[in-house]
Amino acid sequence: MEKSNDSSEYGFILVGFSDRPKLEMVLFIVNFTLYSVAVLGNSAIILVCILDSRLHTPMYFFLANLSFLDLCFSTSCVPQMLVNLWGPDKTISYAGCVVQLFSFLSVGGVECLLLAVMAYDRYAAVCRPLYYTVIMHPQLCLRLVAVAWGSGLVNAIVMSPLTMTLSRCGQRRVNHFLCEMPALIKMACVDARAVEMLGFTFAILIVLLPLTLILVSYGYIAAAVLRIKSAAGRRKAFNTCSSHLTVVSLFYGSIIYMYMQPGNSSSQDQGKFLTLFYNLVTPMLNPLIYTLRNKEVKGALKKVLGRQQ
């Protein structure tokens, strides 16, 4: 990065919601509450998936990974955001900004792919029930998770340096509450279209391609469910997939709006609140969605908490 940027020496200023001081304290209370619920909920999911032998299946292995990703996703920026909301200091070091951007890009990419893996798992469970244990064997589950993590890391390894090395002509004010790629690209004082288009290409591979696989999987699932004659069987199949579909809708809806627009044409305020949604609200809702709709997880939680033998 050019010395004129001064950001490597002095870091960045996260403007966030500082133009609305009355809103900041409300956001601090709301975000602290949501973050606490997200940490407790996702930690509980991971704990029960490890401790309860009945949950040592592919579905819950992927669910535990999703909860771990949600923890990483929120923790990558929420603590820094809470510090900035609490007081007048809105700064973040250059190294902190790099770590935040890298974590955000990698974990976000992994989660997109992991949701596709979970859709394939549901396809195997509903459409190929007799061969499910053969198809979703432990080695395949580990490989699928490894591919998801590897792809997310490649996205971050490529896009983070390109984004951070854009010349900003000394500008340090990030019109966001975290070091997110669209906000950092908008600060550039040089032509950043090449970086934007590369980011758009990665978004197609990491966002749209997995989403297509999810939709194809659920197309087969829907056809299989319609062939089930008993109402109880259809209801069981629906309950098996509804939690995952809800999570996919929440996560992908906001991600696509943010990252699938050439030139990042969404407004700054829209970007801030959408980032809050998929970085904080979705990780908080995921454990509730899976717990409220899943008898096995609820039973495991009760067992871990000592409410049943």
Domain boundary assignment for the chain:
12-305
Residues 12-305: name the CATH superfamily.
Rhodopsin 7-helix transmembrane proteins (1.20.1070.10)
pLDDT band at 8 (very low <50, low <70, confident <90, very high): low
| Section 285-294 average pLDDT | 72
Percent of the chain with pLDDT over 70: 85
| Section 85-95 average pLDDT | 84
Q: pLDDT digits over 142-182, tens only?
A: 999 999 999 999 999 999 999 998 888 888 888 888 888 88
Residue 309, pLDDT > 60, answer no
Considering only residues 92 and 262, tell me which one the structure prediction assigns the higher pLDDT: 92
**Which residues lie below 8 Å from residue 236, measured CB to CB, with a gap of 6+?**
none
| Section 207-231 average pLDDT | 85
Cα separation, 253 vs 248, whole angstroms: 8
Q: Please name every residue paired with 13 in a beta bridge, in sequence order, or none if there are none.
A: 91, 173
pLDDT of 4 reads 44
Considering only residues 17 and 198, tell me which one the structure prediction assigns the higher pLDDT: 198
DSSP string, 179-224: --HHHHHHT-SS--HHHHHHHHHHHIIIIIHHHHHHHHHHHHHHHH
Cα separation, 66 vs 80, whole angstroms: 22
Q: pLDDT digits over 254-287, tens only?
A: 777 665 555 444 455 666 777 777 777 778 887 7
| Section 178-196 average pLDDT | 86
Cα separation, 276 vs 281, whole angstroms: 7
Determine the straight-line distance between the first and last CA of the chain, rounded to whole angstroms.
60
pLDDT of 151 reads 92
